[in-house]
Amino acid sequence: MIPRKPSLSGLSLDQIEAEAEGRVHRAIQDNLEREREEREQRDHRSPILLDAEPAPPVGRDPETGRFTEGWSGRPKGSLNKATLIARNLLDEQAETFARSLVALALAGDLPALRICSTRLLPARRDLPVDIELPAIVTAQDAVRAAGTVTAMVSEGRLTPSEAQKIASVIETQRRAIETAELERRILILEASVK
């Protein structure tokens, strides 16, 4: 016998939304359980693999004390001692070094000026934009917000690229509102059919 879904008729909107959240939570739990079971099945070793020769040891050979072939003994990404000493010395004198570099740049030294402009003053990515938009709770609010952004571009208060980025945020919010509204309507229809 096929289990029937519980009927949602006679429930309030809050109860329907709570039921929808419960279904989503159960689906997530089921997926996690299924993935765990699949992982356990993949990790199961077959008798054929148990008979295979073991992989050569990595690191030092316990009998000779020498490193095995292809293994230098140094972990990947580790630095040699000279690099670590130089880094520590620079860290201790970083402020003095930076002040000297800035002084050279101010004196007109072009290489120092280039280093200061590229390293000490990183390129600005985005600047904050100070605008007021209406709260976006419904799709109609998103239309009003997009109109406000368009008006600011025409007035010269926003650049087109800034407006495009803001419009993409507004569009994301509108899609989220639309998705939530569709889900709510589907739940209401399911409740009315049963």
**Whole-structure pTM value:** 0.39
Specify if 72 maps to a domain. no
| 116 and 146 part of one domain | no
Residue 149 or 1, more confident: 149
Split into its structural domains, the chain has a count of 2
Question: Domain end: 91, 120, 149, which one?
Answer: 120
How far apart, in Å, are the Cα atoms of 126 and each of 34, 133, 175?
A: 43, 19, 25
| 149 and 189 part of one domain | yes
Contact 158, 129 (CB under 8 A): yes
Specify if 132 maps to a domain. no
35-47: pLDDT as tens digits:
777 767 665 555 5
| 143 and 175 part of one domain | yes
Specify if 166 maps to a domain. yes
The residue segments making up the domain with residue 90 are 81-120
Reference 191, options 13, 18, 22; nearest CA is: 13
Contact 151, 123 (CB under 8 A): no
87-139: pLDDT as tens digits:
887 778 888 888 888 888 899 889 888 887 787 666 667 777 888 888 899 88
